[in-house]
Amino acid sequence: MLDDRKLAVLRAIITDYVDRREPVGSKALVDRHRLDVSSATVRNDMAVLEEEGYITQPHTSAGRIPTDKGYRLFVDRLASVKPLSAAERRAISTFLSGALDMDDLVTRTVRLLAQLTRQVAIVQYPVAQRAVIRHVELVPLTGERLLVLVVNSTGKVDQTVVELPVPDERILAPIRAKLLESLVGQSTPDAAQVLGRILDEFPPADRALAAPLVATLLELLGPGHSAHVVVAGVPNLASFDSGFQSNFRPLLEALEEQVVLLRLLDEAAGDDVTIRIGQENRAEGFQTTSLVASGYGSEGELTASLGIVGPTRMDYPSTIASVRAVARYVSRFLTEG
What does the pLDDT read at residue 202?
A: 87
> Can you tell me the mean pLDDT for 178-205?
86
The torsion of the CA quartet 253, 234, 65, 21, rounded to 10 degrees, works out to 150
Give 83-120 pLDDT, tens digit per residue: 888 888 888 988 888 888 888 999 999 999 999 999 99
How far is residue 152's CA from residue 285's CA, in Å, rounded to a whole number? 35
Confidence check: pLDDT of 174 > 80: yes
Closest by Cα among 292, 262, 258, 264 to 277: 292
> Can you tell me the mean pLDDT for 158-184?
86
Domain 133-221, CATH among 3.40.50, 1.10.3470, 3.30.390, 3.30.70: 3.30.390
Instruction: Look over the chain and give the mean of its residue pLDDT values, rounded to a whole number.
Output: 85
How far is residue 106's CA from residue 101's CA, in Å, rounded to a whole number? 9
Confidence check: pLDDT of 226 > 80: no
Give 6-21 pLDDT, tens digit per residue: 998 999 999 999 988 8
| 294 half-sphere exposure, CB direction, 13 A CA radius | 20
Q: Topology of 4-76 in CATH?
A: Arc Repressor Mutant, subunit A (1.10.10)
Closest by Cα among 27, 38, 37, 31 to 4: 37
Domain spans of the chain, in order of start: 4-76, 86-127+227-336, 133-221
What does the pLDDT read at residue 225?
A: 47
Query: What is the identity of the amino acid at 184?
Result: V
Give 300-322 pLDDT, tens digit per residue: 565 789 999 999 999 999 999 99
Predicted model pTM: 0.73
The CATH number given to 86-127+227-336 is: 3.30.450.40
